[in-house]
Amino acid sequence: MAIRPFVKEDILPLKEILLTTRVFRNEEIEVAVELMEIVTEEPHQLDYIMFTSVDNNNGVQGYYCVGPTPMTEVICIGSPSIRTSTEAEQAEN
């Protein structure tokens, strides 16, 4: 696997990945896609940094985005895995 700069052509395969994981709500996916569009349409913006993870055939496998976190109630830094909002709530109790 390799990590390369994010490009506009990555949006559709990444949206499909987000949909098929069945972890994210539609609103969260819409925000993710909106941020991807901001990164590609506004190259001089400084709010978000984005990279794409690709396999040996340049097939999109995932992405990395750093910046403000709209729609986020709980932020887990250094978490070894992705947790759903329900799992995060249970961990707090």
Taking 60 as the threshold, does the pLDDT of residue 63 lie above it? yes
One-letter amino acid for residue 45 of the chain: Q
Confidence at residue 69, expressed as pLDDT on a 0 to 100 scale: 77
Domain count for the chain: 1
Q: In terms of Cα–Cα distance, which of 79, 65, 80 is closest to 28? A: 65
Reported pTM:
0.71
Which domain does 11 fall in, by range? 2-92
One-letter amino acid for residue 87 of the chain: E
Answer with the residue of higher pLDDT: 43 or 70.
43
Q: Could you report the per-residue pLDDT of 5-42, keeping only the tens digit for each?
A: 999 999 999 999 999 999 889 988 998 999 999 999 99
Over pLDDT 70: what percentage of the chain? 74
Q: Round to whole Å and give the CA distance between 22 and 3.
A: 24
